[in-house]
Amino acid sequence: METNYRAPFGEIDIIAWDGATLVFVEVKARSSDKFGTPEMAVGFRKQAQIGKIAMAYLLHKKLSPTHCRFDVISVLKTGEETAISLFQDAFALADGSRG
């Protein structure tokens, strides 16, 4: 549906449909895991920001109510090797909802 969707308070990397579920995807890439894996960078603050942007997107596109999911793609490139991991349903919104 969208890549790099921008709202006044941030951006979501990928927005896509997975069947009847609207998926908001955060992509995190690192060249080392010295300070943690890429997916670890999607902490509570980033999750809250993504949730706000997702709500703005749903309102803007008039898609409410729609079942949503929040995924994280982790890209770790060390030397010649690249490891890509998908974490489906990686987090819920602060109120415990998943969309």
Q: What is the DSSP string of the chain?
A: -EEEEEETTEEEEEEEEETTEEEEEEEEEES--TT--GGGG--HHHHHHHHHHHHHHHHHTT--S--EEEEEEEEEEETTEEEEEEETT----TTS---
Distance between CA 35 and CA 25 in Å, rounded? 22
The overall average pLDDT reported for the chain is 91
Write out pLDDT tens, residues 50-85.
999 999 999 999 987 789 999 999 999 988 999 999
At residue 44 the predicted structure's pLDDT band, cuts being 50, 70 and 90, is very high
Q: What is the largest CA-CA distance in the chain?
A: 44
What pLDDT score was predicted for residue 93?
A: 80
Neighbouring CB atoms inside 10 A of 48's CB total 13
Distance between CA 28 and CA 88 in Å, rounded? 14
**pTM for this entry:** 0.89
Domain 2-87, CATH 3.30.365.10 — does that match? no
